[in-house]
Amino acid sequence: MEPTITPPKTNSLAIPIAIVFGFGLIALAIYFSGIGASNTNTKTNTVTTEKTNANIRPVDKTDYIFGNPNAPILVVEYSDYDCPFCKNFHETMNKIMSEYGVSGKVAWVYRQFPIAQLHPNAPKISEAALCVGELGGNDAFWKFSNSIFQERGVNEPTNMSKLVDFAVLAGVNKDDYQKCVDSGKHKKTIDDSLAEGASAGIAGTPQSFVLIGNQQAQIEGAQPYPLVKQIIENLIGQLEGKVNTTGEAN
């Protein structure tokens, strides 16, 4: 996970969690009891668990949602378009959605958390994405976002000259897009999203929260596809009554 320059403080307390090892990969099974969070070091692939007092804003009509808005499992990601780790996690989540989104069990919510200290263009890219969403709707927003992450290499910045092309490709009128971007009308929305994320204890990107009803857990950093898949499988198993509190199948 890419850190911010001055990460906010959080209060945490260790809680139990089931950790399953198999095929040389560390797979994390999250079990909800009130509000829980998983804190994973992506560099060493070690897993620790924490409980946090932080809450994120509930998903509402202002959010851009990929998949079924009424899915029982929501993955809410705070992301930066120019963050290299966010590109990796974006690819992971697209794989997850290709498997679990079609069934309506999982939905993916993208929220803006551009870190200007590290990526000076990121706030402008976020504003552009929100303009595309405003003008073209939910599908256009996701097409635009996918184009950004697919266009650049992991350690490359976004080519800002291509944003207008991505907007048109997403189905937005070029002149309307340019007028919206030039107005700066979504700058406050970005600032509010940054403040919201900071108040929830976000200290870098990508930072994701898994929501089931009013319960919440955390996926920290660009966790690899096998681990995220295992998390989703365990949560689906719990919802369907196939996994008990010890992490074993019923």
Cα–Cα distances (Å) from 8 to 20, 23, 196, 212, 214, in that order, read 31, 36, 12, 25, 24
So where are the chain's domains?
11-239
pLDDT per residue, tens digit, the chain (250 aa), is: 766 544 333 332 222 222 222 222 223 333 333 323 333 333 322 222 333 445 788 999 999 999 999 999 999 999 999 999 999 999 999 999 999 999 999 999 999 999 999 999 999 999 999 999 999 999 999 999 999 999 999 999 999 999 999 999 999 999 999 999 999 999 999 999 999 999 999 989 999 999 998 788 899 899 999 999 999 999 999 898 865 444 454 5
Report the pLDDT value the prediction gives residue 241, as an integer from 0 to 100.
83
Report the pLDDT value the prediction gives residue 47, as an integer from 0 to 100.
26
- Say if strands 106-112 and 64-66 run parallel, antiparallel, or are unpaired: antiparallel
CA distance 203 to 221: 10
CB pairs under 8 A, 24+ apart, for 181-184?
181/124, 181/127, 181/128, 181/131, 184/127
Q: Which amino acid is at 166?
A: F
Kindly write down the DSSP assignment for every residue of 127-179, as one continuous string. HHHHHHHHHH-HHHHHHHHHHHHHHS-TTS---GGGHHHHHHHTT--HHHHHH
Q: Is the whole model's pTM more than 0.75, yes or no?
A: yes
CA distance 159 to 151: 8
Rounded to a whole number of angstroms, the CA Rg of the chain reads 18
Report the pLDDT value the prediction gives residue 1, as an integer from 0 to 100.
73
Report the pLDDT value the prediction gives residue 42, as an integer from 0 to 100.
39
Residues 192-211: tens digit of each pLDDT: 999 999 999 998 999 999 99
Domain 11-239 class, CATH top level? alpha beta
- The per-residue b/e assignment along 128-161, b for 16 or more CB within 10 angstroms, e otherwise, is bbbbbbbbbeeebbbbbbbbbbeebeeeeebeee
Report the pLDDT value the prediction gives residue 203, as an integer from 0 to 100.
83
